[in-house]
Structure 1
Amino acid sequence: MMRRSTFLFVSIVLMILLPSLGLAAEGNATGEKLSTDSNDDIAFFLLQLQAEIQGSLNDRDALVADAAERLSAAGLEGEKARKILQSLNASGFIGAATISPQGKKLTVEPSQFRAAEGTIVNQTIWSSFIKSKDPFMSQIIRLVEGNDAVTLVYPVLSPADNFTGAVCANMPPNEFLEAIIAPKLEGTPFDVWVIQKDGRILYDSNSDEEGLMLLSDPLFKPYPTLLDVGRKMIAERSGMGSYNFFLDEEYTQNETKEVYWTTVGLHGNDWRLAVTRAAE
């Protein structure tokens, strides 16, 4: 029910905003004209993909919110707390922990990560969260366990609504996105990539580019029109553009790609979701 209502909400909003995605526009970030053939196909593919990803993000968020509520009664340590964290990992997270008000990990799951109990949580995440104690999703970080993940953090309140600590759960964005996007790409002419607002690539149909910084990695330096579109994507929540991309290592064959993008995210941490295809 949650994901269905999210899909309907996002679909209605994007249908209202489709002109801002470029359906009625002729220009782009580079001043060139885009093909207008089948623009509705790529725009509606983006619409459906955004709804699916945002719905799944909301579902993950709701799981952590529910864990925080259950921990309010169970406490942050002990077997009950451990089982609550285990249920998060069984739902798709790769690690979860309860945290004291001072930022110390109290209970950690799964079992192979329990050695981290008693250590201090990542200070970039904790300092961002503790300022407001509001639900929070981090940008991608390298965990001490060696994984790259985003972390969802929720405050845990006592029955009297006093702050007693937090619960956090880690999620690799590339795996999360791959499970949603890859099946939908089958049989389509599209590619998909997702970036943070700092330009880091969280997901790409070409997985070799995941983790790279779009605007600064040397791999992308030969593609100024791609960099122009990337800057525009970071600055604007939705839009369209085009860029030239070489097909060979000798830079002798290139093609023009059209790109449409929009935004997904949680708690103010936005990801830009882009769908591309070869221009007709």
Structure 2
Amino acid sequence: MAKYNLIVYSLIAIVIVLIIANVYLLNSNLSITSQKESLATKQEMSNLLTQVKTALDSELEQVDLDIQSACQQLSTVNFGSSQVRAILSALVDNNSFIKSASLEVDGILVAVEPEERSYIEGSDVTNQEQTIRLRQTLRPVMSNQIKLVENIYGVVMAAPIFNNDKTFVGAVTIVIEPNQLINQTITSIYNGADYTFMGIQVDGLVLYDVDQAQIGTETLSNPVFQGFPDLLATCQRMATEKAGYSTYEFKPSLASSDVISKELFWVTIEIYGTEWRLAIIHVLS
């Protein structure tokens, strides 16, 4: 009888060991599967971000070529001629996200296209940041998002015009809306729901987000963000690091009371010495 009990207990012990081993193997397999899925997600995020960055860089490079072409054309015409408006109109027509194009002389907008923006002709932009920088460097510049003379917010790109004697005589300026530019670039590449994108200036001002309420907010100083130290630390890193990866907690939207965990990769969009950070975001389960 004792021998029989010993055999039974031994079998029970073996079964328990096998169950524990199977549970361990199952958990290990689940962990490996989860790690593989996480790596696949990160790779997909990185690939998508690269595609959008490449497309945005291409859009801005084309705008640069168009502005330089306009400057070259204007360098040989009388600023009072009808050719000026034709050149500015072509600049607007060739780029769907350009809201207006202007000829600026001595800090004054002397011609503006399209016609519905012509009411700002005669406006003094001497103290706007892009005007100051352009006169200091005599090189193309792009402003941060600023309040324009039209009483709206936008980004101004400006390039100098030189006459045949290489004398600086004025500038071509264009107004773009980063929100529209970034959005149309993203939607031409990605229409899924797994990831979202954000565009942000290095000073923390949000240029683009799927949550429209966040556009124009200043992440580093807005009280809404102060209760989320990981988010603030991420934004501070984005201000100084051209590319990176981070995780943080924040609301799904400003109107939400929930808090979720997110991960993001970011890269830099740069033209004329001004930088934006472009990020792709994924909600962690």
TM range (shorter): 0.7 to 0.9
Q: Distance in 2 between matches of 1:63 and 1:172?
A: 17
* Structure with the higher fraction of residues in helix conformation: 2
Does residue 1:51 correspond to 2:54, yes or no?
yes
What stretches of structure 1 move > 6 A for 4+ residues in a row? none
The one-letter code of the counterpart of 1:119 is S
CA–CA distance in structure 2, aligned partners of residues 110 and 250 of structure 1:
40
C-alpha distance in 2, partners of 1:245/1:229?
A: 11
> Does the CA contact (< 8 Å) of 2:51 and 2:189 recur in 1?
no
Secondary structure at the aligned position of 1:131 is classed as: helix
Cα RMSD (Å): 1.8
Q: What CA deviation, in whole Å up to 9, does each residue of 1:94-131 have, x standing for no partner? A: 1111111x212221222233233233125122112100
Aligned-partner Cα distance in 1 for 2:154–2:252: 31
Is 1:147 aligned to 2:152, yes or no?
Answer: yes
Match of 2:175 among 170, 184, 188: 170
Q: Does structure 1 residue 111 correspond to structure 2 residue 103? A: no
Match of 1:84 in 2: 87
Partner of 2:7: none
Structure 2: which 5+ residue stretches go unaligned? 1-37
1:19 corresponding residue in structure 2 = none
Question: Shift in Å at residue 57 of structure 1?
Answer: 1.0
Maintained 8 Å contact 1:76/1:99: no
**TM score, norm. by length of structure 2:** 0.80
Q: Can you give the 5+ residue segments of structure 1 that lack an aligned partner in the other structure?
A: 1-34
Q: Does the 8 Å CA contact 1:138/1:150 hold for their aligned counterparts?
A: yes
Q: Does 1:120 align with 2:124?
A: yes
Report the structure number with the largest CA radius of gyration: 2
Letter in 1 for 2:163: S
Question: Partners in 1 of 2:82 and 2:260 — Cα distance?
Answer: 58
Higher RCO, 1 vs 2 (CA within 8 Å, ≥6 residues apart): 1
The whole-number CA distance in structure 2 between the counterparts of 1:119 and 1:239 is 41
Distance 1:146 1:250, change over 3 A: closer
SS in 1 for 2:184: helix
Instruction: Give the share of equivalent positions with the same residue, in percent.
Output: 27
* SS at 1:151 equivalent: strand
CA deviation after TM superposition for structure 1 residue 188, in Å: 4.2
> Cα distance, 1:184 vs. partner?
3.0
1:68 aligns with 2:54: no
Cα deviation, residue 276, structure 1: 0.6
Helix, strand or coil for the counterpart of 1:119? Answer: coil
